[in-house]
Chain A
Amino acid sequence: DTAVSQTPKYLVTQMGNDKSIKCEQNLGHDTMYWYKQDSKKFLKIMFSYNNKELIINETVPNRFSPKSPDKAHLNLHINSLELGDSAVYFCASSQAEGGRGAKNIQYFGAGTRLSVL
């Protein structure tokens, strides 16, 4: 079984559309994350959720909204897609957030490659 799974793997859409990416983890972790990786491979954290509460929200446009129905799922909804949103989006999870020990090791999904035309 895949520990962190995200769908779809590829997403091609037109500017202005609204789209969602789904993420599920079966590791029993308390914290989930969304990352954006651009064409230069820079990995930028967008959001993290801990027990259904948003705990990090970097300077991300409010067109991006994370939705967590339960601690095993963290979906990413994007409104009014723009060309600059084209990137690979990774979902990840960790047992906890911050601190020492192995609880903050991140497990990444396979990524969703979003292309906005």
Chain B
Amino acid sequence: DGGITQSPKYLFRKEGQNVTLSCEQNLNHDAMYWYRQDPGQGLRLIYYSQIVNDFQKGDIAEGYSVSREKKESFPLTVTSAQKNPTAFYLCASKGAPYSSGGVTDTQYFGPGTRLTVL
């Protein structure tokens, strides 16, 4: 089955540590996204990538870093510079912008990773 996987489901971090959240997709999508979700605030965009080896900052990129070495993978690192990292993190992917089928602007989401700082 095609889909998006995120691991781990739960992650605990000590203050001062960097942690990396995994996101993998087998949908052959070009674009991938990372969102942060906090209660009552909806989803906020951290980083996005339209193609391999390219990525852009979103609205709240400070304290985060990403890489896009493979089409299938878009890992997110939460660094010690992120002041309040406890949140639910969601990865999404979207098909190529000019492909046919009418679904070019639909983002599909993974199951999420809940990060807690101890």
Report if A and B associate in a common complex: no
- Name B's A-contacting residues (CB within 8 A): none
- Name A's B-contacting residues (CB within 8 A): none
